[in-house]
């Protein structure tokens, strides 16, 4: 599995190199007034640049290289410097900002920084579509660093049961992972109580 994440890193680096080259070319064309020669891509150019950092951050996170991953997450959290933004580009930048903020909270928890938990929960309340992946991250960190999240699980149990959308394979997978990790946490607690 480690090799697959190394491959993702490699592809993320290639995507970044290409996105930067195209970006610089587009800036030159814009500055020289050759706007009729601008490249039209399926997605806004900022998406390709942001996606390269997002993929690199995910690959490093999956290898538990949290400090290195954080550098890439910070990079795509603020893409407002990107010069060729239109209305669609600005919407994409906002999406990357939300993903980046969520992933920075997750990285901090995975590093054992439990002090940000309440701030992360407040963020999740503002972004309900992030609750399932957020709770998955929280339960992983709680299992790894042995901190109690019982009250949080109780509070969000109704929300979590609403993610049984069988049409969405990502929700289905995250839901499955969440309940497996919760089961592991409960078994771990039971084992500790028997000692």
DSSP string, the chain: -HHHHHHHHHHHHHHHHHHHHHHHHHHHHHHTT-GGG----SS-HHHHHHHHHHHHHHHHHHTT-HHHHHHHHHHHH--TT-TT--HHHHHHHHHHHHHHHHHHHHHHHHTT-GGGHHHHHHHHHH-GGGHHHHHHHHHHHHHHHT---HHHHHHHHHHHHTT--TT-HHHHHHHHHHHHHHHHHHHHHHHHHH-
Residues 158 and 99 in one domain: no
pLDDT score for 178: 60
Residue 135 lies in a domain: yes
Digit-coded pLDDT (tens) for 89-112: 999 999 999 999 999 999 999 999
142 and 58, same domain (yes or no)? no
Evaluate whether residue 118 is within a structural domain: no
Give me 100's structure tokens: 């980046």
- pLDDT tens column, 19-45: 999 999 999 998 998 877 778 889 999
Residue 192 lies in a domain: yes
Q: Are residues 105 and 166 in the same domain?
A: no
Do residues 138 and 165 share a domain? yes
| The predicted structure's pLDDT at residue 12 | 97
Domain count, the chain: 2
63 and 12 within one domain: yes
Whether 44 and 77 map to the same domain: the answer is: yes
What's the confidence (pLDDT) of residue 157?
72
Residues of the chain with pLDDT under 70: 158-187, 189-195
Instruction: Look at residue 117 and tell me if it is in a domain.
Output: no
Task: Tell me what pLDDT residue 19 has.
Answer: 96
Of 93, 168, 71, give the one whose Cα is nearest residue 129: 168
| pLDDT at res. 34 | 86
Span between the terminal Cα atoms of the chain, in Å: 34
Do residue 84 and residue 136 come from a single domain? Answer: no
Note down the domain range covering 26. 1-111
Is residue 179 situated within a structural domain?
A: yes
pLDDT at 97: 98
Query: Tokens at residue 29, please?
Result: 């064309």
Residue 100 in domain: yes
Check residue 113 and give its pLDDT.
Answer: 96
Residue 88 domain-assigned?
Answer: yes
pTM: 0.82
| 143 within a domain of the structure (yes/no) | yes
């Amino acid at each position: 599995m480690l090799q697959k994440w190394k491959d993702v890193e490699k592809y993320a680096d290639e995507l970044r190199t290409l996105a930067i080259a195209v970006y610089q070319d587009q800036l030159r064309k814009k500055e020289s007034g050759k706007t009729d020669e601008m490249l039209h891509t399926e997605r806004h150019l900022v998406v390709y640049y942001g996606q390269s950092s997002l993929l690199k951050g995910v690959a490093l996170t999956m290898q538990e290289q949290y400090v290195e991953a954080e550098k890439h997450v910070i990079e795509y959290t603020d893409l407002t410097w990107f010069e060729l933004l239109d209305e669609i580009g600005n919407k994409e930048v906002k999406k990357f900002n939300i993903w980046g903020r969520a992933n920075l909270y997750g990285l901090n928890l995975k590093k054992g920084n439990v002090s940000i938990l309440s701030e992360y929960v407040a963020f999740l309340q503002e972004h309900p579509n992030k609750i399932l992946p957020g709770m998955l991250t929280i339960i992983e960190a709680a299992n790894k660093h042995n901190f109690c999240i019982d009250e949080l699980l109780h509070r969000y149990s109704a929300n979590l049961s609403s993610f049984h959308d069988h049409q969405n394979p990502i929700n289905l997978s995250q839901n499955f992972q969440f309940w497996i990790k919760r089961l592991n946490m409960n078994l771990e607690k039971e084992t500790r109580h028997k000692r």
